[in-house]
């Protein structure tokens, strides 16, 4: 693949060309030259886009694709195309398929589906067989087949001994164990944050305590086992503080937050719009402020779209009975770019690959190109015309956002809108 990119602002703090406008010559998928004015002597394909910015390829640590089992929601190929058009060059796919990704053969199937795409797919294997929390899955075999981590998607590990054993076992092969932060004995089927809003709306509440207790327990187990733990999609101020203190103790813990938990509070629930029914629930402003501070100071390692396509019949019903989840890939960059500066947004989106066994590739001469292309300017209101996913259940519908994505260049391929 030979391409000449013209007049691109490079946003890459690890590159000597950071925050400068340059031409970028790509030959055989390698960056051969970066300079202010490169002549197209070989008549390569030119990319010349309005206010073009380029960075290292973006990473999302939590996406759901329906294949196998729920292809009507999103197939792997369609999901990867959605990721590419949203600026992501690498995504970690959750195990909530049918059958669950709990064996090396299932991991191999998913990997084979994605092998020729521009976007790199990292399957997350189930932690327990059929994600039932009863017996450990084939973690080592799945790791060898390409699994990047292990979790029972959105299901807490209720048996503390199960998590202890998983952390100890995975440490033998540098395996990363997820533990979803919710104590079900406290949350008790709560569908929204427990506070005055849940009482006013007559909806069952899920208190901060349910998350904080689980995080505290898991961190004690991590310290005991000396394992490697990832706590996905935290949503409370208490969790941020617990993880901050754990990192001061040098525990090997990472965590993520969903973009919508940085953007919305439970005040939006007054319309009973089921697109706002997410797991964990939207919290209050105090929690949002703590989460944003956690992103800024590095306590929170990753920000995820938590992309979860769902059919309309699963969302367009009474709030109590609607499924949890929102799509998020298409709105991810613009939502973050609305909250943070472009440099911070790119820093967030390019952070965390190493935790999942992937190397970062800077925008520098001699490196293979793995890049996201975007325009940080321009305000718009997000609507269904911005959605590429087969499902349209977006929490960001009718929300003013800033910035747009052109596409990606990765794996010897280019995908642009």
Query: Which sequence positions are flagged as catalytic?
Result: 306
Distance CA 175, CA 168 (A): 10
Distance CA 102, CA 265 (A): 35
Let me know: does 175 contact 143? Beta carbons within 8 Å: yes
Nearest to 147, CA basis, from 102, 115, 117: 102
Alpha helices in 176-236 (DSSP H): 184-187, 196-201, 208-225
> What distance lies between CA 317 and its chain's CA centroid?
27
Let me know: does 231 contact 222? Beta carbons within 8 Å: no
3-state secondary structure of 322: coil
Let me know: does 292 contact 348? Beta carbons within 8 Å: no
Distance CA 261, CA 240 (A): 13
Between the alpha carbon of residue 35 and those of residues 2, 6, 122, 274, 383, the distances in Å are 16, 10, 34, 50, 38
Residues 6 or more apart whose CB falls under 8 angstroms from that of 410 comprise 57, 89, 118, 119, 120, 369, 370, 371
Cis amide prior to 99 (ω within 30 degrees): yes
Tokens of 329: 């890939």
Let me know: does 57 contact 74? Beta carbons within 8 Å: no
- Total residue length of the chain: 417
């Amino acid at each position: 693949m030979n391409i000449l990119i013209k007049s691109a602002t490079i946003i890459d703090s690890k590159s000597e060309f950071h925050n400068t406008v340059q031409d970028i010559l790509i030959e055989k998928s390698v960056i051969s030259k970066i300079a202010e004015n490169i002549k197209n002597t070989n008549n390569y394909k030119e990319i010349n886009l309005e206010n073009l910015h380029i960075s290292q390829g973006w990473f999302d640590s939590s996406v759901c694709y329906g294949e196998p089992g729920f292809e009507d929601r999103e197939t792997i190929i369609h999901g990867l195309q959605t990721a590419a058009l949203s600026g992501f060059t690498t995504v970690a796919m959750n195990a909530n398929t049918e059958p669950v990704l709990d064996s090396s053969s299932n991991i191999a199937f998913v990997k084979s589906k994605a092998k020729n795409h521009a976007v790199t797919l990292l399957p997350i294997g189930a932690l327990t067989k059929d994600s039932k929390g009863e017996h450990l899955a084939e973690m080592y075999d799945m790791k060898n087949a390409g699994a990047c981590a292990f979790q029972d998607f959105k299901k807490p590990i209720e048996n503390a001994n199960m998590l202890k054993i998983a952390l100890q076992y995975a440490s033998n092969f540098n395996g990363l164990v997820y533990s979803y932060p919710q104590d079900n004995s406290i949350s008790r089927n709560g569908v929204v944050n427990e506070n005055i809003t849940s009482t006013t709306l007559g909806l069952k509440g899920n208190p901060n305590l349910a998350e904080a207790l689980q995080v505290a327990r898991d961190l004690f187990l991590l310290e005991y086992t000396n394992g490697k733990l990832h706590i996905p999609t935290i949503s409370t101020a208490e969790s941020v503080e617990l993880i901050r203190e754990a990192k001061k103790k040098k525990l090997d813990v990472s965590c993520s937050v969903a973009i919508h938990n940085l953007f919305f509070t439970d005040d939006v629930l007054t319309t009973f719009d089921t697109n706002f029914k997410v797991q964990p629930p939207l919290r209050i402003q105090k929690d949002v402020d703590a989460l944003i501070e956690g992103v800024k100071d590095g306590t929170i390692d990753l920000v995820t779209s938590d992309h979860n396509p769902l059919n309309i019949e699963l969302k367009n019903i009474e709030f109590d009975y609607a499924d949890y989840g929102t799509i998020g890939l298409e709105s991810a960059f613009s939502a973050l770019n609305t909250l943070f500066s472009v440099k911070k947004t790119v820093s967030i989106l390019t952070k965390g690959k190493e935790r999942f066994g992937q190397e970062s590739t800077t925008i520098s001469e001699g490196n293979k190109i793995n890049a996201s292309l975007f325009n940080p300017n321009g305000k718009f209101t997000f609507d269904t015309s911005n959605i590429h996913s087969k499902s349209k259940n977006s929490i960001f519908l009718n929300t003013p956002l800033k910035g747009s994505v052109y596409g990606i260049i990765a794996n010897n391929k280019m995908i642009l809108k």
